[in-house]
Amino acid sequence: SEIELEIKGLNVDYGLGEQSVHAVRDVDLTLRRGEVLGLAGESGSGKSTLAYGLTRLLPPPGVIRGGQVIYHPEQGEPFDVLGLSDRQLRAFRWAQTSIVFQGAMNSLNPVHKISTQLTDVLRAHEPGSTRAARLARARELLALVGIPADRLDSYPHQLSGGMRQRVMIGMALALRPKIVIMDEPTTALDVVVQRQILGQLVGLRERLGFSVLFITHDLSLLVEFSDRIAIMYGGRIVEQASAAGLHKDSLHPYSHGLLHSFPALRGPREELSGIPGSPPDLRSMPTGCAFHPRCPHSFDPCVRRVPELGAPQGRPEQDRSVACWLHPAS
């Protein structure tokens, strides 16, 4: 299917010089039009940095050290988001992408009603609209995310965490974005609410036709709801596959560890196993594959050279790439 966003060789650091942290390393990642792409990895693996970097919303001292983020509009020529002027960037952001950041549900303004917050977003971007039209649209947006219209006059503290999260999604959809990026919007919520919200977003995606980059720790949610999954470790993508493919058969030992460290939502409850050891220190990375000190299958080459992400040898299936010496690229 059609490519919508192509991240190529993206590198992001925090800070400069000796003390800098290389948080995103040579990331190549493609988002296809209309798909739900899941991004998983342990805390500190660089997921949020990647999301902030590709939209150029990196907080200081974050700096993009290289790479391209090519956006392919439905009409017109592809362009590099990293090359846009500030003004072009603002237009692009509002028209094309919408982000619900980590902890966003706590960023609703406590002193304003939900309706005011939604209509403010609409007014900022459609200054010509009438108040009545904005209110009608706010009601419609809340209905989309399953919030009854009588909640329009509530204040954030009168809503549950799940409802606040839905409001944030409603706001993200207000300007009819082509891409919705959700950065772990649900970790603060319980598992049942998480599933509902992601399920609802997937349903809306089908109706409204946007694509989703969904970032979470919980790989079992991604297996259930996303089309494809990318796994990050130590700033790099280590495996990328269809959700079904990954579920059936994960090639990278880290993916395998992640898949088996969460209890299954359906079927027999598995033991929580977790992955022994801890994520790498980005300031002093292990040599070779960053995962080798924790890897049960580590052998000689893993210590010496960083494996590149590529299609594994001898596997005819198309939709998979892995960065692991057990599965060298063809």
Binding interface with Mg ion (CB under 5 A): 48
Instruction: Quickly list DSSP for 246-315.
Output: HHH---SHHHHHHHTSS--SSSSPPP----SS-PPPTTSPPSSSTTGGG-TT--HHHHHSPPPPBPBTT-
Sequence-distant (≥ 6) Cβ neighbours of residue 314 within 8 angstroms: 330
49 lies in the binding site for ligand ATP (CB under 6 A): yes
Q: How many residues bind ligand ATP (CB under 6 A)?
A: 17
Least Å distance between CB 47 and Mg ion? Answer: 5
194 lies in the binding site for ligand ATP (CB under 6 A): no
Report the SS3 class of residue 160: coil
Q: Which does 49 bind (CB under 5 to 8 A by kind): Mg ion, ligand ATP, none?
A: ligand ATP
177 lies in the binding site for ligand ATP (CB under 6 A): no
Query: Of all helices (H) and strands (E), which one includes residue 326?
Result: none
Asked if 265 contacts 284 with a C-beta cutoff of 8 angstroms, the reply is no
Sequence-distant (≥ 6) Cβ neighbours of residue 120 within 8 angstroms: 112
Burial class (CB in 10 A: 0-12, 13-18, 19+), 51: buried
Burial class (CB in 10 A: 0-12, 13-18, 19+), 166: buried
Task: Point out which span in 46-54, 109-117, 173-181, 256-264 binds ligand ATP (CB under 6 A).
Answer: 46-54
| Cα separation, 215 vs 273, whole angstroms | 22
Instruction: Choose between 119 and 186: whose C-beta lies nearer to ligand ATP.
Output: 186
Least Å distance between CB 53 and ligand ATP? Answer: 9
Q: Please state, as a whole number, how many other Cβ atoms lie within 10 Å of the Cβ of residue 95.
A: 14
Instruction: Choose between 48 and 240: whose C-beta lies nearer to Mg ion.
Output: 48
| Cα separation, 35 vs 274, whole angstroms | 29
Least Å distance between CB 51 and Mg ion? Answer: 8
Of 296, 326, 320, 303, which is closest to residue 231 (Cα–Cα)?
320
Sequence-distant (≥ 6) Cβ neighbours of residue 98 within 8 angstroms: 172, 173, 174, 175, 177, 179, 180, 181
Task: Point out which span in 47-55, 150-158, 171-179, 218-226 binds ligand ATP (CB under 6 A).
Answer: 47-55
Instruction: Choose between 23 and 82: whose C-beta lies nearer to ligand ATP.
Output: 23
**Paired tokens of 265:** 């939502």
Instruction: Choose between 14 and 325: whose C-beta lies nearer to ligand ATP.
Output: 14
Residue 194 backbone phi and psi in degrees, to 5 = -55, -50
Instruction: Choose between 23 and 174: whose C-beta lies nearer to ligand ATP.
Output: 23
Please give the residue whose beta carbon sits closest to Mg ion in the complex: 48
Instruction: Choose between 47 and 178: whose C-beta lies nearer to ligand ATP.
Output: 47
Q: Which does 23 bind (CB under 5 to 8 A by kind): Mg ion, ligand ATP, none?
A: ligand ATP
Instruction: Choose between 273 and 278: whose C-beta lies nearer to ligand ATP.
Output: 278
Task: Point out which span in 2-10, 44-52, 92-100, 312-320 binds ligand ATP (CB under 6 A).
Answer: 44-52
Which one-letter amino acid corresponds to residue 257?
G
Instruction: Choose between 169 and 215: whose C-beta lies nearer to Mg ion.
Output: 215
Least Å distance between CB 142 and Mg ion? Answer: 27
Among 4, 28, 31, 47, binds ligand ATP (CB under 6 A): 47
Q: Which does 250 bind (CB under 5 to 8 A by kind): ligand ATP, Mg ion, none?
A: none
Least Å distance between CB 129 and ligand ATP? Answer: 36
Chain positions contacting ligand ATP, by CB under 6 A: 14, 21, 23, 41, 43-49, 59, 61, 102, 184, 217, 282
